Structure 1
Amino acid sequence: MQASPDTHHLVVVGAGFGGLQLVRDLAGAGLRITLIDQRNHHLFQPLLYQVATTILATSEIAWPIRRLFRERADVTTLLAEVSGVDADGKRVLLADGGAQPYDTLVLATGARHSYFGRDEWETFAPGLKTLEDATTIRRRLLLAFEQAERETDPATRQALLTFAVIGAGPTGVELAGIIAELAKQILWREFRNIDTREARVLLIEAGARVLPAFPVSLSDYAQAALEKLGVEVLLGRPVSDIRADGVTIGTESVGCRTVVWAAGVAASPAAAWLGIAADRAGRASVDANLNAPGRPDIFVIGDTAALMTADGKPVPGIAPAAKQQGAHVAKVIRARLAGKTAPGPFRYRHQGNLATIGKSAAVVDLGWLQLRGWIAWWIWGIAHIFFLIGARSRVAVAWSWFWTFISGQHSARLITQGRKAPERKP
């Protein structure tokens, strides 16, 4: 039965990991919940790079939000873009001029790409945060090989067969490894005028090592595994320019037609909406209960929130952290509605860092245990399948990985974006 209009109204902005966990944990709490997102689907971002590199289809890592809550009469889903918050009037402002009143508000609006003040680079170097980003990158990758097959100029052909990934965190490492496998192990039998094994895959990192959040031993292993796949790892080499025809690394210009940005993110403008302090990445400063300062009716969670762990380090912008924050805020809201004492301050429980390098190697850092190689790859795969939504998605992803492993082929290599083919004249 649908909740009464007089019931306490919770508005949640963002259906990512944090927002989804929050709404799920508030089932049966006697609330009227409105969930607002600018897209109609929840996205499993940790596997987004596998859509970009032709391993998985979009439907295997994304689910319609309405379907997820079709049995929850207390949840109303709205497809809308939020443009601001009227905190004094207790309204969420929408880009189309509408507004959504609330009694309690949770902002779980995630992060976006950061080009460190060079936003013009986005045209030539898309990041990887949405399904649209993934399919755009996939299209550029596949078209580069198709165009190289027809190209007769050696310099232009080499530029088409050069792929640059900027940023050597988990996303950059995973992208570079799969692109190298695609070029050097999968596609070479299918072309006649080019040898895709001669493709260059560059992983460019301004810092001193790949996977800087991992222990040095795992970082060194990851670099060696990448180089074994044929990736050129360029460390301590910041990018100074990105153009349609290439990148400049320090003072060296490299012809390159496909560039992927994995170097930085910035929070959504939630802090600006609320007029509160933010850190250098734009994340809103919150108190120990994830409330905006001076606003007990407003919570900020996930990549949008700036919070420190017990040992003085920032809570990382990863899925487990967002889910833990969503669960904590659900407990706080339940306690307040029941007139009970709220739980203690939020405590982040680190569950480890994982990254994969190609289809048979990975690194896992659990703090008390560090693993690499084949066994780490299995742990990485099981962990990701476990967090997928629904048995169908788990089976589909497991099957895609199994097929890729035994056949050496990727199953999602369709070029589906771009200009519409001209209509034939009668």
Structure 2
Amino acid sequence: MTEPRQRVVIVGGGFGGLETAKALAGAHVDVTLVDRTNYHLFQPLLYQVAMAGLSPAEIAAPIRSILAEQDNVRVMLGEVRNVDLQRKTIDAGSCGILPYDWLVLAIGAKTSYFGHDDWERFAPGLKSIEDAVEIRRRVLVAFERAERTDDERERRKLLTFVVIGGGPTGVELAGAIAELARFVLSEDFRSIDPRSARVILVEAGARLLPSFPEDLARSAVDQLSELGVEVRTNARVVNIGPDGADLEVVSDNELPGLGSGKELDHLFSATVVWSAGVRANDLGARLAAEGVPLDRQGRVLVKDDCSLPGFPEVFAIGDMAHFEENGKLLPGVSPVAMQQGRYVARIISKGSRSNGQPIEVKPFRYLDKGSMATIGRSRAIAQAGKIKLSGFVAWLAWLVVHVWYLIGFRNRFVVLLTWAWSYVSYKRGARLITTTGWKPESSPKLESSVPPPPSSRRADGSRGRSSVPREVVRSPESDRQPGRAPTPIS
């Protein structure tokens, strides 16, 4: 007698969830994958959409088409509201109540403003296509407004771009904005010189890219400096508003008996982008109500087989999981999620054939193949084991890795052609200013996502400061890699 097929529910169609579903091809299970969007997003290239280098469709692919040839998988568009661990069901909203024998939670992470969610309106993060298109709109609109204003102070504000967070995403965004201003837009305006734009990259700690070796981080700073990016460290943001950010800066002045102090300063800018931290998805808090342990960032504390304590049939992988290996927390990078997805799929496949008997499971082990971060055209850093690369060679390696791991032949072909054209001509074809409908996740109702237009009040916000304040910022950090961890070599 044939054993009935067990039901596997996967929540999330990102790297981890998609890899789990693909690894279950041919297994004696019925898989249901639920995601709030109908596409898989290649997040490492999201900044390219934000900086008009690529269009959204070039870094995303419909989940249904990816899994179309896998007969044992059903894809459902919906958002999971709750999980009932005792009854083994999930509430998938419009999709109804879905029972499961095995559950894989792979819903990723959200941008963290460290308790200041009201800042999101003025400093969007970069986690979704909507975020990327909104950042693109704000950056391009800033140049357009600078072109038409006669107020020199307002023009300086509009041509000052601040990126908060010195992790890989911040470095990539800062370099891309600088290239956009210095090369792509350099001859497109008549009243302004886009090359005069100031790009300021802000980091909470003593240096950029703390997950990389110090020599590679120094190389990144040098390459950013070549693009004109100002790198600021050891400063903390205490407020963000329509006129920029208020900062707490570590002072170099020594106070007798007290050491160095702190100063308050203001960064005058119309466009601030946040890449300083992440937090777990809100579903984790609902799991906590059922007794599931969480860490301080809301991630699920999982066992060494990625399962929830007390629930061996439920797994949490990727950014929503707190998984320690040799006492160290695994970073929030796509290879961790992908490797965990394949590992969990093997457990499910083996368990579905065990007739309910316990199965022997070896602990998950992460194979780190290296990481990389791009800074701009022909500029990047990379590390794989003891091998360290920087500059043009690292950029070539970055390009090959990203094109290779894009899903779908068409996506690879289009992206490669787009990059080739951009490299030769310094032109970008996705410089469209569109109405995005974007709004902060923390504020369901938002009057307008458009920064306020120039007004008759003082351009420095009536703070009584110089029109060119000292531009130093510091961002808070989480204990995981800020914004996005370095692009891994999968």
The normalised TM-score by structure 1 is: 0.95
Aligned to 1:422: none
Runs of 4+ residues over 4 Å off in structure 1: none
Mark the runs of 5 or more structure 1 residues left unpaired by the alignment: 420-426
Cα separation, 2, equivalents of 1:257 and 1:390 = 38
Mark the runs of 5 or more structure 2 residues left unpaired by the alignment: 249-263, 438-490
| 1:220 maps to 2:218 | yes
Matched to 2:207, the amino acid is R
Aligned to 2:487: none
C-alpha RMSD of matched pairs (Å)? 1.5
- Among 282, 296, 299, which residue is 2:298 paired with? 282
- Among 28, 31, 38, which residue is 1:30 paired with? 28
Contact 2:379 2:391 in 1 (8 A): yes
Matched to 2:213, the amino acid is P
Cα separation, 2, equivalents of 1:289 and 1:309 = 11
Matched to 1:266, the amino acid is R
User: What secondary structure does 2:235 align onto?
Assistant: coil
Matched to 1:417, the amino acid is T
Contact 2:76 2:95 in 1 (8 A): no
| 1:302 maps to 2:300 | no
Q: Deviations over 1:149-170 (max 9, x none)?
A: 1111111111111111000100
| 1:269 maps to 2:282 | yes
Cα separation, 2, equivalents of 1:348 and 1:133 = 30
- Among 390, 406, 411, which residue is 1:372 paired with? 390
Cα separation, 2, equivalents of 1:59 and 1:97 = 26
User: What secondary structure does 1:129 align onto?
Assistant: coil
Q: By how many angstroms is 1:41 displaced?
A: 0.5
User: What secondary structure does 1:238 align onto?
Assistant: strand
Q: Deviations over 1:70-119 (max 9, x none)?
A: 22221111111111101111111134583211111100010000000000
- Say if 1:238 and 1:306 are closer, same or farther in 2 by CA, change over 3 A: same
Q: By how many angstroms is 1:341 displaced?
A: 3.8
User: What secondary structure does 1:214 align onto?
Assistant: coil
Instruction: Please say which of residues 408-417 and 209-218 is displaced more in the overlay.
Output: 408-417
Superposed counterparts of 1:196-275, under 5 Å: 196-250=194-248, 251-275=264-288
Cα separation, 2, equivalents of 1:179 and 1:61 = 19
Superposed counterparts of 1:10-409, under 5 Å: 10-96=8-94, 98-250=96-248, 251-275=264-288, 276-310=292-326, 312-339=327-354, 341-409=359-427
Contact 2:77 2:95 in 1 (8 A): no
Aligned to 1:424: none
Cα separation, 1, equivalents of 2:299 and 2:5 = 31
Identify which of structures 1 and 2 has the higher relative contact order when contacts are C-alpha pairs closer than 8 Å and 6+ apart.
2
Aligned residues, how many? 415
Q: Deviations over 1:200-225 (max 9, x none)?
A: 10101111111110000000010111
User: What secondary structure does 1:120 align onto?
Assistant: helix
Q: By how many angstroms is 1:296 displaced?
A: 0.9
Q: By how many angstroms is 1:194 displaced?
A: 0.5
State the percentage of identical aligned residues. 48
Q: Deviations over 1:300-329 (max 9, x none)?
A: 00001101123x211110011100000100
Q: Deviations over 1:181-237 (max 9, x none)?
A: 101122120100011111110101111111110000000010111111011101111
- Say if 1:36 and 1:418 are closer, same or farther in 2 by CA, change over 3 A: closer
User: What secondary structure does 1:189 align onto?
Assistant: coil
Cα separation, 2, equivalents of 1:411 and 1:30 = 46
Instruction: Please say which of residues 271-280 and 126-135 is displaced more in the overlay.
Output: 271-280
The normalised TM-score by structure 2 is: 0.83
User: What secondary structure does 1:152 align onto?
Assistant: coil
Cα separation, 1, equivalents of 2:391 and 2:436 = 38
Cα separation, 2, equivalents of 1:336 and 1:126 = 43
Q: By how many angstroms is 1:337 displaced?
A: 1.5
Q: By how many angstroms is 1:7 displaced?
A: 2.3
Q: Deviations over 1:322-371 (max 9, x none)?
A: 00000100111111122284441000111111000111111001131111
Contact 1:245 1:255 in 2 (8 A): yes
Q: By how many angstroms is 1:247 displaced?
A: 1.1
Instruction: Please say which of residues 239-248 and 291-300 is displaced more in the overlay.
Output: 239-248
- Say if 1:96 and 1:271 are closer, same or farther in 2 by CA, change over 3 A: same
Contact 1:107 1:270 in 2 (8 A): no
Cα separation, 1, equivalents of 2:387 and 2:348 = 36
Contact 2:373 2:380 in 1 (8 A): yes
Cα separation, 2, equivalents of 1:214 and 1:367 = 12
Q: By how many angstroms is 1:30 displaced?
A: 1.6
Cα separation, 2, equivalents of 1:342 and 1:324 = 19
User: What secondary structure does 2:61 align onto?
Assistant: strand
Contact 1:331 1:342 in 2 (8 A): no
Cα separation, 2, equivalents of 1:315 and 1:357 = 24
User: What secondary structure does 2:191 align onto?
Assistant: coil
Aligned to 2:456: none
Matched to 1:302, the amino acid is G
Q: Deviations over 1:31-76 (max 9, x none)?
A: 1111000011100000000000010111110011111122222111
